[in-house]
Amino acid sequence: MYMYTDEQIIEKANEIAKMISETSEVERFKAAEANINGNEKVQKMMKQIKFLQKEAVNCQHYGKTEALARVEAKLDKLFAELDEMPVVQQFQESQEEVNGLLQYVTVTISNGITDQIIEATDGDVLAGKTGSGMEAENKSGGCGY
């Protein structure tokens, strides 16, 4: 059985990262991000949001609850306007696609490791039990304790 070093695993992880960065999902994300960054209306709204967020922190710090409520209402309105913009929706969708791909890769790796461990211990992959887990269950009457 071959033992891999941490460095070899990191090297492979970097290869996978490069592969993922060259997918259509990431290309769509980069294009959507460029559209967001190049959209004057979005950038103006983002500056307003940052300013209002600082105002909200100040209002909260000084206990100005009525002013805080007004600032939060303005923020809610700006966020709602942003969410309705097609360029923002496109960006959010592309972000979700990339996150979905990363989640899929993570789950695939995790499940693969688990299956390898189960198989290496003569366990049952379908039951999700290692060989030692199955032995313990058999000795204790079926519940594993």
Domains of the chain with CATH codes: 25-140 (1.20.1500.10)
Q: What is the mean pLDDT of each run of 10 residues along the chain (145 residues)?
A: 92 97 97 97 98 97 96 98 97 97 96 90 82 70 54
Which segments of the chain does DSSP mark as H helices, in order? 6-21, 24-38, 40-61, 65-84, 86-120, 131-140
Contact 49, 78 (CB under 8 A): yes
- Here the tokens at position 2 are 């071959």
What is the pLDDT at residue 127?
81
**Can you give the length of the chain in residues?**
145
pLDDT tens readout for residues 31-73: 999 999 999 999 999 999 999 999 999 999 999 999 999 999 9
Backbone φ and ψ of 99, nearest 5°? -60, -40
Token pair 């997918």 in the structure block, residue: 23
Rounded to whole angstroms, the Cα distance separating 41 from 46 reads 9
Question: How many whole angstroms separate alpha carbon 121 and alpha carbon 135?
Answer: 11
pLDDT at residue number 131 = 76
Determine the pLDDT at residue 142: 55
